[in-house]
């Protein structure tokens, strides 16, 4: 192995340790009551709609898939087969800044249709948070923060990673309450691949 390859390997290991340490620090500041408050509205929702833009949107798509695997009726906002939201439904929005215009419009529409709104954001005082019935504040850097005081990663990477991890923790909690076997969940996996 060349000296250059050894150096690259070392840098990759250092990067991974840095990312993991950021999540450990974030975990110390996180309020799990905010996350557990979502269990009841998710369980009671007729349908669950998920929205986020950019990389946050990708995390929300993963969350929608997790909900579907658990047997919930879940839709990704913007997909061609997503129906109208209505009373008894739940919109779950992910926006680090809490100011993403498309996400704000969706939250306003959900409220106008008497649906509940939950959000994952870094800013509990944001417009999205003000529209939400449930707020999960992830103490990560926003994508506009370039001073590296919270994270050494680019843009909103820590928020997006944490969004996926905390939603997966929520899914594990819902699964443990549900008691379904892994085999039962697997029946809902796509078989058209």
pTM comes to 0.89
pLDDT (tens digit per residue) in 107-133: 999 999 999 999 999 999 999 999 999
Per annotation, catalytic residue among 13, 14, 127, 160: 160
Running DSSP on this structure, what letter comes out for residue 174?
H
Question: What is the arrangement of strands in the sheet containing 134-137, beginning at the earlier edge strand?
Answer: 74-76, 48-52, 90-94, 116-121, 134-137
Pairing of strands 48-52, 90-94: parallel
Q: Would you call 184 a catalytic residue per the annotation? A: no
Sequence-ordered strand ranges (E) for the chain: 48-52, 74-76, 90-94, 116-121, 134-137
User: Given this model, what pLDDT does residue 146 score?
Assistant: 44
> Under a CB-based contact definition with an 8 Å cutoff, are residues 94 and 51 in contact?
yes
* CA pair distance 145, 96, nearest whole angstrom: 11
Which segments of the chain have a pLDDT < 50? 145-146
Phi (first) and psi of residue 118, to 5 degrees: -125, 145
């Amino acid at each position: 192995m060349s000296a250059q390859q050894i150096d690259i390997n070392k840098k990759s290991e250092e990067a991974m340790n840095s990312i993991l340490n950021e999540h450990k620090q974030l975990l110390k500041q996180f309020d799990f009551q905010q996350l557990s408050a979502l269990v009841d509205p998710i369980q009671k929702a007729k349908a669950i709609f998920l929205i986020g833009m950019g990389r946050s949107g990708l995390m929300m798509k993963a969350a929608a898939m997790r909900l579907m695997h658990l047997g919930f009726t879940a839709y990704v906002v913007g997909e061609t087969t997503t129906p109208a939201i209505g009373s008894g439904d739940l919109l779950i929005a992910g926006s680090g800044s809490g100011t993403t215009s498309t996400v704000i419009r969706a939250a306003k529409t959900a409220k106008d249709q008497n649906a509940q709104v939950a959000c994952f954001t870094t800013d509990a005082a944001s417009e999205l948070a003000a529209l939400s019935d449930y707020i999960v504040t992830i103490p990560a850097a926003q994508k506009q923060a370039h001073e590296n005081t919270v994270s050494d990663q680019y843009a909103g990477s820590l928020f997006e990673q944490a969004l996926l991890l905390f939603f997966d923790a929520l899914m594990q909690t819902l699964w443990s309450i549900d008691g379904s076997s892994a085999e039962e969940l697997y029946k809902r996996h796509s078989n058209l691949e």
